């Protein structure tokens, strides 16, 4: 008896361009969960570069506890294995196509995981790093050397800026955008002046900024086009033994220096919820207490999207 269903189209026969268009509506976790294993045609579609311009892992968090010794955080084994699995499958399917990598604020990534990722994302242009993690100096430096096209870095906290900025200056000649949320003191500002004088975009939103550091930035970064100092706590540090002083307004001399910047964004307002939060948290905002994904917001769009 003739099979009446033999002429029914199969999913595997679907035009690959149409299939890729459909797959663009899926997130990375849906793509790696089994779609690529349906058949050879679907796997080929899952490897299309259009699907992998951005590897967004911003919904993937780690389960962890803080500890008093290095690496100062202990991540449970299931969290570590989940991240390793997601990276392995994603980077295998992407075939070096990833231009933007976004990691969650509370995702803890190890040296080995970062190095593995860097080797398989040689064209990376934009990187969003976690707040603080298990990465050591050798790990981040090895990764930076792998990314000659890196243009943009979001790193909520940089504990020791000189070596990182020097590594970027040596290896990433297109680097133009830096976003940090933490402390911007004279060490940070001087480091930027020395190693990244051609920086075009600098976002310091929700940071504690020393007045002298802001002066260094405005005087030294002559190519700066965008400066975001919204929702910040400004500190004046006089010579000892005088105590530090919180400034609720910047003086006219600083505002005059800032006037040359094409886009100068500032918000230091008693009625602003974010300004209230940064002051309540004493200059180091505790993102886990507030709305989900709030840490990803910024008044400045990124160069590489």
Torsion of CA 83, 47, 12, 26, to 10 degrees: 50
- pLDDT computed for residue 38 by the predictor: 77
Which pLDDT band, with edges at 50, 70 and 90, does 69 fall under?
confident
Can you tell me the distance from the alpha carbon of 123 to that of 150, in angstroms, rounded to the nearest whole number? 8
Strands 245-247 and 233-236, how do they pair?
antiparallel
Cα distances (angstroms) measured from residue 244 to each of 211, 236, 237, 241 = 11, 6, 5, 9
Contacts of residue 41, Cβ cutoff 8 Å, sequence gap at least 6:
12, 13, 14, 16, 19
What average pLDDT score do residues 23-33 get? 87
Rounded to the nearest integer, the mean pLDDT of the chain is 89
Q: What is the pLDDT of residues 280-302, one digit of tens each?
A: 998 888 888 898 888 888 888 76
- pLDDT computed for residue 10 by the predictor: 65
- pLDDT computed for residue 176 by the predictor: 96
- Residue 1 confidence (pLDDT) above 50: no
- Residue 96 confidence (pLDDT) above 60: yes
- pLDDT computed for residue 114 by the predictor: 95
Can you tell me the distance from the alpha carbon of 278 to that of 282, in angstroms, rounded to the nearest whole number? 6
Query: What are the tokens at 87?
Result: 């990276």
The Cβ of residue 201 has, within 10 Å, a number of other Cβ atoms equal to 20
Torsions phi, psi for 177 (to 5 deg): -135, 130
- Residue 11 confidence (pLDDT) above 80: no
Q: What is the pLDDT of residues 204-228, one digit of tens each?
A: 999 999 999 999 999 999 999 999 9
The Cβ of residue 69 has, within 10 Å, a number of other Cβ atoms equal to 6
- pLDDT computed for residue 160 by the predictor: 82
Q: What is the pLDDT of residues 224-277, one digit of tens each?
A: 999 999 999 999 998 888 899 999 889 999 999 999 999 999 998 889 999 999
pTM (predicted TM-score): 0.89
- pLDDT computed for residue 5 by the predictor: 53
Which pLDDT band, with edges at 50, 70 and 90, does 305 fall under?
very low
What average pLDDT score do residues 189-194 get? 97
């Amino acid at each position: 008896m003739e099979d009446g269903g033999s002429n029914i189209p199969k999913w595997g026969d679907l035009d690959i361009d149409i299939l890729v268009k459909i797959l663009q509506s899926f997130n990375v976790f849906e793509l790696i969960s089994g779609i690529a294993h349906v058949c050879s045609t679907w796997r080929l579609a899952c490897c299309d570069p259009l699907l992998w311009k951005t590897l967004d892992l911003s919904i993937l968090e780690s389960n962890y506890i803080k500890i008093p010794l290095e690496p100062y955080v202990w991540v449970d084994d299931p969290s570590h294995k989940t991240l390793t699995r997601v990276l392995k499958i994603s980077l295998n399917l992407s075939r070096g196509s990833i231009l933007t990598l976004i990691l969650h604020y509370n995702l803890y990534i190890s040296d080995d995981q970062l190095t593995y990722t860097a080797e398989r994302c040689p064209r990376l242009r934009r990187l969003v790093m976690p707040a603080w993690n298990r990465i050591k100096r050798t790990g981040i430096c090895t990764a930076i050397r792998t990314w000659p096209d890196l243009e943009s870095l979001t790193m909520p906290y940089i504990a020791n800026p000189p070596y990182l900025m020097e590594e970027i200056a040596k290896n990433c000649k297109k680097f133009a955008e830096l976003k940090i949320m933490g402390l911007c003191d004279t060490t940070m500002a001087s480091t930027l002046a020395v190693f990244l004088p051609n920086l075009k975009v600098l976002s310091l939103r929700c940071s504690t900024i020393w007045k002298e550091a802001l002066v260094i930035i405005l005087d030294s970064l002559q190519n700066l086009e965008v400066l975001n100092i919204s929702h910040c706590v400004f500190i004046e540090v006089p010579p000892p033994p005088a105590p530090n002083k919180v400034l609720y307004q910047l003086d006219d001399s600083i505002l005059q220096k800032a006037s040359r910047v094409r886009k100068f964004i500032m918000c230091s307002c008693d009625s602003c919820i974010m300004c209230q939060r940064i002051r309540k948290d004493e200059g180091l905002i505790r993102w886990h207490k507030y709305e989900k994904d709030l840490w990803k917001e910024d008044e400045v769009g990124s160069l590489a999207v």
